[in-house]
A and B are shown apart, each in its own frame.
Chain A
Amino acid sequence: MSTKTETQSRGKAPAGERVADWADGRLGIYGGAKKNLRKVFPDHWSFLLGEIALYSFIIILLTGVYLTLFFKPSMAEVHYHGSYVPMQGVLMSEAYASTLDISFDVRGGLLMRQIHHWAALIFLVAMFVHMMRVFFTGAFRKPRELNWLFGFLLLVLGMFTGLTGYSLPDDLLSGTGIRFMEGAILAVPLVGTYMAMFLFGGEFPGTDIIPRFFAIHVLLLPGIMLGLVVAHLILVFYHKHTQYPGPGRTNNNVVGYPLMPIYMAKAGGFFFLVFGVISMISATFTINAVWVLGPYRPDKISTNAQPDWYMGFSEGLIRAMPAWEWVIPTGHTINFGVFIPLMLLPAVLGAIAVYPFFESWVTKDQREHHLLDRPRNVPTRTAFGAAWISVYFVLLVGGGNDLWAIFFDLSINTITWFVRIGFFVVPVVVFMITRRICLGLQRRDRDKVLHGRETGIIKRLPHGEFVEVHEPLPPEQLHLLTQHHQYEAAELPPAVDKNGVESRPGIIEKVRVRISRGYFGDHGQVPKATPEEYKEIMSGHGHH
């Protein structure tokens, strides 16, 4: 984009403009350029978290294409005779052998593998953190609910693309993961056995699973994800970015810097920064050293058998689940010990996915929201988010219970029991604590507005009393701390309205009113300072 389409005048048009003219005649680019080139984006570090995800996705695509040039998705057994000494002559699948070749015989192959894998971890970390930013600031509210779902789908698809990806080398660790998948599928009532036979092309492990995972990993899932990423970005453009509240920032404007040149330089530059950091990490930190894991064999195993981090919470679910397996009267086995965690996995993720729809059902708010919430101003939502993260973290601990046991000199059994109980208790506790913290912060905001900032200056009054000087807030601060909209708790309509018509609210409406009271009732939020209260205090009669 080195063409300067605007600045130019008489004589023959510069080359760049002629190229642009050519393109405009066929694509009609000027209309779009006029609208978008100077499109304003607000500036905040937390708005760049999604960009980390986007860029690591691009890095994964680039390095992934390179890896496919050398990787052989085949489960044919060969004896290894490459450069890596401690595997000489070992019987392994071609998939594993070609992964060793990429690591030891292709120059730069190891670097590409490591960048690919590190970028995958970062991709999911970034999506997760980005999702949390969107959640806690309420950026998912109308009109962005669909984009929230696109993002959520990207997270889930990213998890499964990662799973199929790290399974491809057919090493002892990832093969164990596939074995787990088979066991999990077998636990599905009625059709599990058939599904497993169809997925593996026969009995486990067979010779089909790696080629099939390969197609899913390099074609199917990335294709869907690419489409979703594009849709996600189009919607970001179309909706215009949300912004944090502040002076001059309203629900009807966007304050920030133009795409060209500031964001082209910043966002474009950020891609190179992310790629650069991941390259340097890959130069210095090993990831998934498949050469020491050995080839997969169904009768071999190593301790510390864990999936990559983003599957860790499902590992925690599986490890903590009690052994519930029953034979039902029809003579069939239901393996709840595996099946329940399998069902809880989408439930844990789904809880956060449907939250925007839940909240809009509670508030019945039909307006568009482009100004972000400060997390404290929506204590119940913030507490729900914190509770969700705590469940996720408890499950992650459960997924790594053997390592926690080693590092903290604890017993695996104890940690498993902690997870079993903590799964239910920790989120409740975290919910309550977070909510209280938010209310406390709201109260402090209110105090700051009404009584000013504590300056730390101690003043002695004529009669000897010491007081701390409070400095009134500047108007920007006053505006920031009072700009948020506070919902009123919903109420049930009176049993008989003024026309004498009886009203019978349904059970769902009653539930909604109760939840709304929890959100916005006396215990759900601290009323913000009103101008009247402020004036009264400022006029000098504000004893209270």
Chain B
Amino acid sequence: MKKLSARRRHPLAAIVVLLFALAATGGLYAAFAPAGEAKAEKSNQSLDIKEGKKLYAVGCNSCHGTGGQGTSDGPSLVGVGAAAVDFQVGTGRMPMQAPGVQAPAKPAVYNNEETRQLAAYVASLGAGPTVPGKEQYSTEGLDNEEIAAGGDLFRQNCAQCHNFTGEGGALTKGKYAPGLDGVSPKHIYEAMETGPQNMPAFPDTVMPEKEKRQIIAYLEKVNSSESESPGGFGLGGFGPVSEGMFAWTIVLAILIGITVWIAARNAKARKS
């Protein structure tokens, strides 16, 4: 201990302490960051099936099994339907980079043609929701009241995980509901239809097609690059936490800056 206290005034002591602190922080983060608990996935035509099967054999069967029956690393794809494949592969969630608690969206690995073929193959494994047509998710022809009712539906069915305006939110053990800005209407529709990962499905039997269109239309109103934010910058749309942080940092810093200016002594006249 004596040795330690003798050296703590060494010029390099501060650097050593800093390195220790950084290493400790990193270690703690690694210990806290969620890992493991791999969970995964869901996913149909006729000529494409063969091509899709080849793609499947290369990219999917290590987790979902050779016949799509599922393994310990990935769920069965029997009966998930083409819509699920179109969503999962189209948003880049599948194939996953590494097993984890969450399948994050990323640039798609397969092109539209390949996605369609994969979808056709998976759909051939068992009947499921088909890829929606444009008329199913198009928001044309909805009047203002129908869009506003879409907002009510959103708050009833979606906001609990995706936040008031679809900014996303946390789930248990490191999982999260992603933000919905920039997600295409088709993919939102497919997500509601098929319930990807931990999201529950909202099949037409409990939420008819028109209601899905209304929800998509509401989201376009409140969460797109064209959405109005009349009061000014929205601070992420996360509510009081970001507002409080802003008040404590930026605003307080400005006001303290002013107090310093008010109380500072003026420059004295210097002779010389």
Contact = CB atoms under 8 A, between A and B. Distances in A.
A47 B263 contact: yes
B59 interface: no
Given A52-B259, A122-B247, A125-B248, A400 B241 contact: yes
A251 interface: no
Contacts of A284: 232-233
B159 A301 contact: yes
Contacts of A52: 255, 259
Interface string A85-97: 1111110000000
A304 B167 contact: yes
Interface stretch (B76-84, B87-95, B141-149): B141-149
Contact of B34 (A118, A274, A411): A411
Which one of B148, B242, B244 has the highest number of Cβ atoms from chain A below 10 Å of its Cβ?
A: B244
Interface string B235-264: 101111111111110011011101110111
Interface in A306-350: 306-310, 312
B229 to A, nearest CB: 6
Contact of B247 (A80, A125, A269, A306): A125
Contacts, number: 215
A413 B101 CA distance: 14
A402 B32 CA distance: 14
Contacts of A302: 155, 159-160, 163-164, 169
Nearest to A396: B244
A405 B29 CA distance: 12
B232 A303 contact: no
B35 to A, nearest CB: 10
Contacts of B256: 45, 49
A89 B230 CA distance: 20
Nearest to A405: B170
B159 A309 contact: no
A277 B232 CA distance: 15
B159 A87 contact: no
A292 B164 contact: yes
A289 B34 contact: no
Contacts of A410: 32-34, 174
Interface string B129-160: 00000000000000011011101100110011
Given A400-B241, A402-B169, A403-B170, A43 B231 contact: no
Nearest to B168: A406
B260 A172 contact: no
A273 interface: yes
A294 B251 CA distance: 28
B233 A285 contact: yes
Given A294-B151, A410-B174, A411-B174, A286 B234 contact: yes
Contact of A303 (B32, B151, B170, B233): B170
Interface residues of B, number: 64
Contacts of B29: 408
B98 to A, nearest CB: 14
A4 interface: no
A172 B241 CA distance: 16
A215 interface: no
Contact of B241 (A88, A299, A304): A304
Interface string B67-107: 00000000000000000000000000000000000000000
Given A283-B232, A403-B238, A89 B149 contact: yes
A409 interface: yes
B170 A286 contact: no
Contacts of B125: none
Interface in A72-126: 80, 85-90, 103-104, 110, 114, 118, 121-122, 125-126
Given A292-B164, A402-B169, A414-B34, A89 B258 contact: no
B170 A121 contact: no
B201 interface: no
A287 interface: yes
A266 B33 contact: no
A172 B163 CA distance: 11
A44 interface: yes
Interface string B205-240: 000000000000010011000000111111101111
Contacts of A391: none
A247 B51 CA distance: 88
A292 B32 contact: no
Given A293-B164, A405-B170, A125 B252 contact: yes
Contacts of A418: 32
Which one of B171, B221, B239 has the highest number of Cβ atoms from chain A below 10 Å of its Cβ?
A: B239
A179 interface: no
Given A48-B262, A306-B240, A88 B148 contact: yes
A150 interface: no
A288 interface: yes
Contacts of A399: 241
A110 B230 contact: yes
B192 interface: no
A412 interface: yes
A50 to B, nearest CB: 10
B105 to A, nearest CB: 15
B118 interface: no
Contacts of B241: 304, 306, 309, 312, 399-400, 403
A306 B244 CA distance: 11
A409 B176 CA distance: 9
A30 interface: no
Nearest to B159: A302
Contacts of A300: 155-156, 159
A45 B231 contact: no
B254 A121 contact: no
Nearest to A128: B248
B172 interface: yes
A173 interface: yes
A389 interface: no
Contacts of B42: none
B202 to A, nearest CB: 16
16 contacts: A49-B259, A110-B230, A121-B247, A277-B251, A284-B233, A285-B232, A286-B232, A292-B164, A294-B152, A308-B244, A310-B244, A403-B241, A410-B32, A411-B33, A412-B174, A413-B172
Interface of A: 43-49, 52, 80, 85-90, 103-104, 110, 114, 118, 121-122, 125-126, 129, 172-173, 266, 269-270, 273-274, 277-278, 281-289, 291-294, 297, 299-310, 312, 399-403, 405-406, 408-414, 418
Interface of B: 29, 32-34, 144-145, 147-149, 151-152, 155-156, 159-165, 167-174, 176-177, 218, 221-222, 229-235, 237-248, 251-252, 254-256, 258-260, 262-265
